[in-house]
Amino acid sequence: MIGIPNTRKRFKIVHELPKRIRLKSLVLLAPDLDHNYLQASVESLNGVKSVRINGPAFSIAVEYDGTPEVRSAIIETLDDIPQEAFLKDNEREHNVDLIDVGARTAAAAATPFLPLPVQAATSWMLGIPGIVKGLETLFTRGVKIEVLDGTVKALSLLRGDYFTSNSVGALLCLGEYLEDQSEQKSTDLLKTLLKPQVEKIWIEKDGRELEIDFNDLQVGDIVVCGPGELIPIEGTIVEGDGSVNQSSITGESVPIHLQPGDATLSGAVVEEGTLKIRADKVGAETGMARINRYLESSLRSQSKNQIQSAELADKLVPLTFGAGLGIYALTGDLARAASVLTVDYSCAIKLSTPVATRTSMYTASKAGVLLKGGQALDNLAAVDTIVFDKTGTLTKGELKVTDIVPMPLYEEEELLSIAAGAEEHYAHPVARAVVNEAKEQGIQLPEVSGVDFIVAHGVSAYVDGKRVLVGSQHFVEEDEHVDCSYMEKKATQLRNQGKNLLFVAMDEELIGVIAMRDELRPEALEALEAFKDAGIKRIEILTGDHRSTALALAAQLPPVDAVHWELKPEDKANIVKELKEGGAKVAFAGDGVNDTPALVCADVGICMPSGADLARESAQVVMLNEDMLTLVEAHRIALTNRETLSNCLWSAVGINSATLLLAGMGKISTLAAAMTHNLSTVGILGYAAMKTSSANKPQEYAKEIQ
């Protein structure tokens, strides 16, 4: 990272109202500062309503709820801008406003009525900055759009055609303004999704673990975070050690090992181990660290389509420049050469991709699906195979306990109490079903310690000093060597009824079995049929359930091509890999920590709204509500985006090529060529925004983005 200034305490308050504050700092002039990132950082704070950065005036205005806590958080965030807010080789926006457009338009309109010396002086004064910028670009970045613009102005000025020079300058300024507005509007739409959600967290108090609302957390509280959970605060580890993934904060993909005394970052995810963390910062103070990978991938990263479009656009600029020089060499006509040079392919091609992509992502979010960046959108459009985890994805994930079968010497209530106590901290549909049943029966849960989640198998915990195991038969019988033969006949009967089984053991002896049933989502069949109609070639189901339970479900879903049962996490990932090796473009939909390997392995990982934090972090696509038809809609939006980008590309190439040809033949003037180019660019951007924002409420979203 280069050129990163020391921003500590550099912002000065220049104006303040009860709910609005404006600050200034020269750091806003830093060439490598990413204004989008800084703006989103402040907007992500709870209580902040809007943020506006004025780069040339090096000021930032923030509207908020007026509370002292939020005011302090805003100032703290600005005075401690992190390194990731600074980008190497960051290209600045045009920074054109309506005043610039109006002034240049007025100057162009008045040019014919001014005395010749005044025309010349005014035109050269307006044209020199563009010419200088073109020369600077030529020597630093090569032949880019700025070189074309500067050359057109220079040729017009040298010919004494001051009206054309000023008119072209006004058109370019208007085009830049409209392009900036289109792209900024699509970016602003995405930023509305960055507000952190209120969440529940576990704290340790007086030797007990309690679940509280995140907003009730106090400095000094001890927060307990287990595997797969998001660390919600910035603090210090006081007990436990484990592996933590901080990629959403630092960008470093390799998990780090943390132990007592180490500091934690809010937004990181615990992959292994259980950590007890003393809260050093709470509430809005952790807002900066809570800007997760979604911000980076949405506003920064480029999809392959965007990169390819930019590369194509850059290759076409020298072609236009060479054509202009060739026309002049053949005809000696500066006017005709200038007309050719006004034609630039890059604006429409480069800008239509981010506008369409960001608008599509926003439209998908309004439909109920969050896409983490343009590449997720591209990948979703390319998918031809979808693999679903069963529980919580195709099914409601709202398991209901149907049978409680204790071993002799144990009562149903005792068995349920022990199982629910061990499962209470586990964010999984099976665990929720057991805990909810205990609460409905008014059963007091025992105090539990030493909870350990064995991914895809079950839970190990200590209840009243005795080790309790709760999980699948495979986990209890084969992994932990507990004899389950006594329950074999009853277990077979329950499975044949399509029920899921949970085996409970204590001190290495089976104490009972709990059966539950999960209903198919009512829209599941319709969604799978819609995917088939949309061109999805293959649909498969993966589950850790017993064979009979899995087949009972698959029988209700005719579009399913294959079902796999009794799977471990690595088995799910291996099936996804095999499909990919066979040439398929695979999407995997799941919701648990045990689904993470498959989510990472798939071309597109899709996480359900109730998914574990680690699953949400690993997925490229996160559903915002439980309706599977929203995923069908997101797939349609992705296909529409791909079609729109193709249409934008060929429209830009076709219109600009025709304009180039007419200009080269001398059929249109420099002014007409510039007007055609700029109007076509704005039209293509409008089409990109309109087409990709029409998923749910076409007119409403089209107005928002225009």
Q: Is 389 a catalytic residue?
A: yes
Q: Which of 660, 700, 696 has the alpha carbon at shortest distance from 680?
A: 660
Question: 268 φ, ψ to 5°?
Answer: -75, 160
* Catalytic option among 389, 545, 613, 627: 389
Q: In 10 A of CB 214, how many CB atoms?
A: 17
Q: Could you give the 3-state DSSP secondary structure of residue 161?
A: coil
Contacts 24+ apart (CB under 8 A), 45-50: 45/70, 45/73, 45/74, 45/77, 45/284, 45/287, 46/70, 46/195, 46/196, 46/283, 46/284, 46/287, 47/73, 47/284, 48/74
User: How many residues belong to the chain?
Assistant: 706
Question: 281 φ, ψ to 5°?
Answer: -130, 140
Give residues with Cβ within 8 angstroms of 450, minimum separation 6: 460, 461, 462
- Alpha-carbon distance values, 312 to 315, 345, 429 (Å): 5, 9, 49
Asked whether the beta carbons of 304 and 256 are under 8 A apart, the reply is no
Give residues with Cβ within 8 angstroms of 146, minimum separation 6: 130, 133, 134, 136, 137
Distance, CA of 417 to CA of 424 (rounded, Å): 10
Asked whether the beta carbons of 604 and 588 are under 8 A apart, the reply is yes
Q: Which of 435, 475, 428 has the alpha carbon at shortest distance from 228?
A: 428
Query: Which amino acid, one-letter code, is at 673?
Result: A
For residue 581, what is the enclosing H or E element?
helix 569-581
Q: Which of 257, 235, 233 has the alpha carbon at shortest distance from 244?
A: 257
What residues does 463 pair with on adjacent strands? 448, 466
What are the catalytic residues? 389
